[in-house]
């Protein structure tokens, strides 16, 4: 009877948009062999937004009138467009949690050597991408812990669009991502990966099909000006990174006002792990 109640409770929570996952949770999907997600504690299903500067708690309170219940936060990494986060702190995270917001922590570090930007630090070409990936993963984990983001939470690596068809560049990028991902996982966090659907996400799917191990556990794909859907991304196999392993960023750099507070945001549809704030 107790087991039955736990299952019913989980289903009710899942329908409400957030569910606690049992220890040892490992969905049986095509991605399992490459991206185990055994330590994820919670998933969220619903609308979210991400924005360069973490908004104040006053703004988050005002935005409770919006359709969003999740917020992406650029919490660490030298590649952030807004490295000085005015509001971000442990108190901010607990305040956001207490207001009912689910947090998606984003780390922006070194970028692909063929990233379509001249302002980001590139992953070193040569024998060092694995070392760099591991080093930055440790940095991400330490910063997450300092902010009270507990093990079992996801950390999403932000890798901006790059030329995944450049074989040398793709190899360096993949080595970095795999090392970052496996290091994050060894420290008890869930590794996630954000990129353009037509570059980084396509690259990860190609690697998965080739049997590459230690890939990120969650895919956050950017494809704008299409209907919001976590299931219908054409660069991903239908069964890959399922269930509860996908986020679709379906619009970007749009302005919205809720409760008298205006923000410029990217819009996301989430079916994926969110942070557990201690």
Nearby residues of 142 by Cβ (< 8 Å), 6 or more positions away: none
**Mean pLDDT over each residue of the chain, to the nearest integer:** 88
> Quick check: helix, strand or coil at residue 261?
strand
- 215 in the Ramachandran plot: left (φ > 0), alpha (ψ -120 to 50) or beta? beta
Q: pLDDT > 70: what percent of the chain?
A: 83
Q: Output the pLDDT for position 117.
A: 62
Domains, the chain, ordered by start? 2-273 (3.20.20.80)
Q: How far is 43 from 21, CA to CA, in rounded Å?
A: 7
Q: How far is it, in rounded angstroms, from Cα 61 to Cα 77?
A: 27
Model confidence at 66, in pLDDT bands (50, 70, 90)?
A: very high
- 92-108 pLDDT, tens digit per residue, is 999 999 999 999 999 99
Over residues 55-60, the mean pLDDT reads: 98
Number of neighbouring beta carbons within 10 Å of residue 142: 12
Query: For residue range 235-258, what is the model confidence (pLDDT) as tens digits?
Result: 999 999 999 999 999 999 999 999
Average pLDDT of the segment spanning 126-151? 94
């Amino acid at each position: 009877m107790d087991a039955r109640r736990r299952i019913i409770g989980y289903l009710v929570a899942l329908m409400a948009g957030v569910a606690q996952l049992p220890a040892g949770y490992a969905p049986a999907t095509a991605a399992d062999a490459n991206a185990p997600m055994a330590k994820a504690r919670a998933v969220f299903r619903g609308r979210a937004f991400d924005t360069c500067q973490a908004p104040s708690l006053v703004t988050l309170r005002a935005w409770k009138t919006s359709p969003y219940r999740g917020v992406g936060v650029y919490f660490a990494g030298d590649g952030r467009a807004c490295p000085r986060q005015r509001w971000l702190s442990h108190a901010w995270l607990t305040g956001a949690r207490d207001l009912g917001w689910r947090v998606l922590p984003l780390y922006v570090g070194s970028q692909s050597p063929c990233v379509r930007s001249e302002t980001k630090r590139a992953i070193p070409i040569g024998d060092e991408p694995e070392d760099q990936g591991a080093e930055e993963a440790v940095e991400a984990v330490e910063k997450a812990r300092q902010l009270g983001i507990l093990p079992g939470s996801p950390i999403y690596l932000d890798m901006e669009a790059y030329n995944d068809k450049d074989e040398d560049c793709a190899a360096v990028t993949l080595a970095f991502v795999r090392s970052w991902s496996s290091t994050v996982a060894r420290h008890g966090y869930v590794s996630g990966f954000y990129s353009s659907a037509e570059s980084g996400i396509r690259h990860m799917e190609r690697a998965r099909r080739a049997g590459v191990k230690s890939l990120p556990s969650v895919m956050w794909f950017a494809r704008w000006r299409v209907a919001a859907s976590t299931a219908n991304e054409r660069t991903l196999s239908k069964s890959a990174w399922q269930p509860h392993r996908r986020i679709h960023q379906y619009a970007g750099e749009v302005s919205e006002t809720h409760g008298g507070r205006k923000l410029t945001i990217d819009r996301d549809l989430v079916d994926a792990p969110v942070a557990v704030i201690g």
